[in-house]
Chain A
Amino acid sequence: MSIDVEVLEDSRHHRYVLNMGPQHPSTHGVLRVLLELEGEYAMELLPVLGYGHRCHEKIAEFKPAKSFMPNTARMDYLGALIYNQGFAQLLEKAAGIEVPERVEYIRVITSELNRIQSHLLWYGAYLLDLGAFTPIMYAFDDREHILDILEDVTGSRLTYCYARVGGVSKDIDDKFVTRTRAFIDRLRSRFPMYEDLVNGNIILQKRLIDVGELTPQICARYGITGPLLRGTGVAYDIRRAEPYSIYSKFDFEIPTETKGDCMASFLVRFRELEQSLRIIEQALDGLPEGPIMAAKVPKKLKLPAGDYNSSVEAPRGELSYYLVSDGSDVPYRLKVRTPSYSNLSVVPEMCRGMLLSDVVSAMGALDLVIPEIDR
């Protein structure tokens, strides 16, 4: 550990070390942070990772690439469908498989629903960290509708395994479309309520404004992406920068703020809910008929030798799969670059000299999902 407790005791009597986590409620999972405090101020922070490490990258080297799909959902359990989509795209790219148009629409609709439920959970849980109990009840109420809708088509509520190489496992029906449209209207009608109840609240503003400020330069040095980067004024979204799937067909905005503090990323995420709804709406309007599986997907999917990359915009930032293939159906090496990993690594620099209660604000704004950090 970089914090040498004995040295501290000898030289600086007024400093002490506090262990936050791995069971601390505001770390949302098994993350441990060693804090060196000077009174109420955090002087050094050392995140300790690996409590939930399963070595997915090693598992990937032992079975056919297709069979790795369920593992992708176990990394970011809140963005499982987006992780599915990214991995399916990787294999389709490597094997040169054309995906039917309907499949792309279904993937976009379900991925955006997934993004909304991830943001809603963050919204409720973040405010809970800050001491507001009520909003999580409202957010979970809305989120529950999405889980019900997705459960019908995917069969699960959290760790989805819906995408297949070349398609999806089950077609969506009229009931799905009707329910999704009803949900869009419902969530839209709730936005003014959220804004009245939460966003304008003076206590929330005092906790978030000017806390945990980031700049585009810090983001570049640490590889921070997603809403945190957009909160610093950089309109970078993989869906727009490297349009995968059919995102280039849709009209949506990339919400940005300029200040880079916790309030900025808070507002960016909140506005992204509306943009995801817009994408879903357009996708439902344009949903074509057709097959939900590519015509020729070999049972043994051999990937030509070489390396392949597939990047998608996950709820927390850039997710990249990098696959090195030796020509067989089993990956030679698979690297999963998860957004929270890079986003969390800024904590020692960002939180230095902060009040302990602000550390909770700043770390909540990162929207951490620990299993994707540990993998």
Chain B
Amino acid sequence: MDINKVKGQWQKLSTAIEDVDYSASGYDYSVSLERDKVRDFAALMLAEGFYLVGLMAVHVTPAIEVVYQFAHVETRCRVMARAFVDEQVEMPTISDIYQGANWHERETRDFHGVVFVGHPYLEPLILPEEDVDLKPLLKEEAKLKDVAAVRRQPPEPAPEPKAKPEPKPEAKPEAVKSQEQS
């Protein structure tokens, strides 16, 4: 697998690609997707030999975010792909591409109420049938956070309050640069 080639293909599908520090976060790339590109992205990952580690949802505002985790068996490349559900809390299924997603999607339906459109059998898996509307992992209003609050914050120059005002202007162009590259 040639990571630069694969990244080039991601670029066509994604809105943003972030290189993540593996030693600090435990994965390599964070890819933000639009809902309608999720299936294309999954098909691309399968063709490149990635396997699906799992998928899960995080309840944040403005919408529930679904996170797909992929990894590769030959080289270390752990990828988190993210997409927000729409107003109907819907997301296209990838269970016909990655059959392993079938159960993960049913579990996410159980816990967060995300409806995976096109799923062959979206019935309760972990929860009993009568608890289909329980959605236990949804947050209460008071605990619900905005998505920006659970994102990695840029490193603050806080330990050196008397430092020159240079770090900030430096940090910004870098961030823009990395987005452009990716």
A195-244 contacts to B (CB < 8 Å): 216, 219-225, 229, 234, 236, 241-242
- Contact assessment for B52 and A223 in the assembled complex, using a CB-CB cutoff below 8 Å: yes
A346: B residues at CB distance < 8 A: 99-100
CA distance A53 to B136 in the complex (A): 12
- Contact assessment for A221 and B149 in the assembled complex, using a CB-CB cutoff below 8 Å: no
Binary flags per residue of B34-56, CB closer than 8 Å to A gives 1, else 0: 00000000000010011111101
Q: Is B127 an interface residue (CB 8 A)?
A: yes
Instruction: Name the segment of B22-30, B85-93, B162-170 touching the other chain.
Output: B22-30
Contact A221 to B46, CB < 8 A, known contacts A242-B76, A322-B67, A326-B145: yes
Q: Is A324 an interface residue (CB 8 A)?
A: yes
A305: B residues at CB distance < 8 A: 149-153
Contact among A2, A49, A222 with B99 in the assembled complex (CB-CB below 8 Å): A222
- Contact assessment for B100 and A222 in the assembled complex, using a CB-CB cutoff below 8 Å: yes
A324: B residues at CB distance < 8 A: 58, 150
Contact among B23, B76, B103, B128 with A241 in the assembled complex (CB-CB below 8 Å): B76
A332: B residues at CB distance < 8 A: 58, 145, 150
B59-116 contacts to A (CB < 8 Å): 59, 67, 69, 71, 73, 76, 78, 80, 97-100, 102-103, 111
Name the prevailing secondary structure of the A interface residues: mixed
- Contact assessment for A342 and B54 in the assembled complex, using a CB-CB cutoff below 8 Å: yes
A327: B residues at CB distance < 8 A: 149, 153
Instruction: Name the segment of A131-139, A162-170, A267-275, A306-314 touching the other chain.
Output: A306-314
Interface residues on A, range: 35 or more
- Contact assessment for B150 and A306 in the assembled complex, using a CB-CB cutoff below 8 Å: yes
| Distance (whole angstroms) from the CB of A88 to the closest CB of chain B | 13
B13: A residues at CB distance < 8 A: none
Q: Is A90 an interface residue (CB 8 A)?
A: yes
- Contact assessment for A345 and B103 in the assembled complex, using a CB-CB cutoff below 8 Å: yes
> In this complex, what residue of B is CB-closest to A46?
B121
| Distance (whole angstroms) from the CB of B22 to the closest CB of chain A | 8
Q: Is B125 an interface residue (CB 8 A)?
A: yes
Contact A342 to B149, CB < 8 A, known contacts A50-B127, A318-B53, A337-B69: no
Most chain B beta carbons < 10 A, residue from A53, A309, A326: A309
CA distance A326 to B153 in the complex (A): 10
- Contact assessment for A307 and B152 in the assembled complex, using a CB-CB cutoff below 8 Å: yes
- Contact assessment for B26 and A374 in the assembled complex, using a CB-CB cutoff below 8 Å: no
- Contact assessment for B125 and A309 in the assembled complex, using a CB-CB cutoff below 8 Å: no
A219: B residues at CB distance < 8 A: 51
- Contact assessment for B27 and A309 in the assembled complex, using a CB-CB cutoff below 8 Å: yes
CA distance A9 to B59 in the complex (A): 44
- Contact assessment for A309 and B26 in the assembled complex, using a CB-CB cutoff below 8 Å: yes
> In this complex, what residue of B is CB-closest to A58?
B136
CA distance A311 to B22 in the complex (A): 12
Q: Is B6 an interface residue (CB 8 A)?
A: no
Q: Is B126 an interface residue (CB 8 A)?
A: yes
B56: A residues at CB distance < 8 A: 322, 333, 335, 337
Binary flags per residue of A287-308, CB closer than 8 Å to B gives 1, else 0: 0000000000000000011111
A118: B residues at CB distance < 8 A: none
| Distance (whole angstroms) from the CB of A324 to the closest CB of chain B | 5
| Distance (whole angstroms) from the CB of A84 to the closest CB of chain B | 17
A225: B residues at CB distance < 8 A: 51
Contact A55 to B69, CB < 8 A, known contacts A219-B51, A305-B153, A349-B99: no
Most chain B beta carbons < 10 A, residue from A96, A224, A304, A345: A345
Q: Is B137 an interface residue (CB 8 A)?
A: yes
CA distance A342 to B101 in the complex (A): 9
Q: Is A281 an interface residue (CB 8 A)?
A: no
- Contact assessment for B58 and A310 in the assembled complex, using a CB-CB cutoff below 8 Å: no
- Contact assessment for A2 and B46 in the assembled complex, using a CB-CB cutoff below 8 Å: no
CA distance A332 to B73 in the complex (A): 30
Q: Is A68 an interface residue (CB 8 A)?
A: no
Contact among A236, A306, A335 with B153 in the assembled complex (CB-CB below 8 Å): A306
CA distance A322 to B30 in the complex (A): 13
CA distance A57 to B136 in the complex (A): 10
> In this complex, what residue of A is CB-closest to B121?
A2
Q: Is A320 an interface residue (CB 8 A)?
A: yes
The 5 closest A-B pairs by CB, nearest first: A306-B152, A309-B26, A222-B100, A223-B100, A337-B54
Seen from chain B, the residues whose Cβ lies within 8 Å of a Cβ on chain A are 23-27, 46, 49-54, 56, 58-59, 67, 69, 71, 73, 76, 78, 80, 97-100, 102-103, 111, 121, 124-128, 136-137, 145, 149-153
Q: What would 10 more interface pairs be, CB under 8 Å, given A309-B26, A332-B150?
A: A50-B127, A93-B23, A221-B98, A223-B98, A225-B51, A236-B73, A306-B25, A311-B53, A326-B145, A374-B126
List, sorted by A's number, 19 A–B pairs whose CB atoms are closer than 8 Å. Answer: A53-B127, A61-B137, A90-B26, A220-B73, A221-B99, A221-B100, A222-B98, A222-B99, A223-B52, A242-B76, A305-B151, A306-B25, A307-B25, A307-B152, A322-B56, A332-B58, A332-B145, A345-B99, A345-B100
